[in-house]
Amino acid sequence: MGNKPGRPKNQTARREALVDAAGRAIAERGLEGLRIKDIAAEAGMSAGSVLYYYPEMGELVLEVHRGAVERYLAARQGAVDGATGAAARLRALVGSGLPGGSGDAVHGLLFELHRRADRSSGHATLMASLFAREVALYATVLEVGAAVGEFTLTEPVADVARNLVALEDGYGLHIVSRNAELTPDVARRLLLGYARTVTGCPVL
């Protein structure tokens, strides 16, 4: 009855290793250049093992996307939590939402994965949920700031929050794409400029 089968299944650990390896492979060579052998090499196992755990490559990529989204959101949440005061929290949020440069691994990976959204509904859902949760992050900071009196909003919070995330995405895209005019610093300045006018908070 309570019989345990032969070998223990530590599939979860193995899968995690593969997702991790695939993430690195994608970041390096891009989705287009993703090869099973590369993932295997990156994970230190054979190509056959990759197929054993993920017969469908799309499933693995989707898992990578899920993980990247969660980690990214956690990092941003952490950035907010680490700051004190509405203005500082907003600055932290902006700072955590822009790529650090064209080589930024996290943003690069996310944009790469977002590419799948127009053809795979799984990726589309992830991308939409990421957007919604980022908006929620901004909305909270803005609302608290308004409640405390640090911010004076003239536009609906929901609108401002969405614009901030859209600005991040727009500028982020160009930064990752190596637009020389749009350095992270310039983008941050522009984003904070918008935040300033719309919150009426001069110290931003």
Partner DNA sequence: CCATTGTTTGAATCCGATCTCAAAGAAGTA
Partner DNA sequence: TACTTCTTTGAGATCGGATTCAAACAATGG
| Dihedral class, residue 45 (left if φ above 0, else alpha if ψ from -120 to 50, else beta) | beta
* φ and ψ at residue 42, rounded to 5 degrees: -60, -35
Interaction mask 55-94, DNA, x per CB under 7 A: x-x-------------------------------------
Which listed residue (16, 30, 52, 85) binds DNA by CB under 7 A?
Answer: 52
12: tokens are 């979860």
Contact of residue 118 among DNA, a second copy, none (CB under 5-8 Å per partner type): a second copy
Provide, rounded to whole angstroms, the least separation between the CB of residue 103 and a second copy. Answer: 9
Instruction: Give alpha helix (H) positions in the chain.
Output: 11-29, 36-43, 47-53, 57-81, 86-97, 105-114, 121-148, 157-176, 184-199
From the list a second copy, DNA, none, pick the one residue 169 interacts with, judged by a Cβ distance below 5 to 8 Å according to partner type: a second copy
User: Is 14 near DNA (CB under 7 A)?
Assistant: yes
Q: Tokens 């099973």 belong to which residue?
A: 36
Binding part of the chain for DNA, among 28-36, 90-98, 169-177, 182-190 by CB under 7 A, reads 28-36
> Residue 50 or residue 87: which is nearer to DNA going by CB?
50
Could you say whether residue 24 binds DNA (CB under 7 A)? no
51 forms part of the interface with DNA (CB under 7 A)? yes
Residue 175: count other Cβ atoms within 10 Å of its Cβ. 23
Please tell me the distance from the alpha carbon of residue 55 to that of residue 49, in angstroms, as a whole number: 10
* Footprint on this chain of a second copy (rule: CB under 8 A): 30-32, 102, 108, 114-115, 117-119, 121, 124, 127-128, 131-132, 154-155, 159, 162-163, 165-171, 173-174, 176-182, 190, 193-194, 197-198
- In the block, tokens 């935040």 appear at 195
Widest CA span of the chain, in angstroms?
A: 70
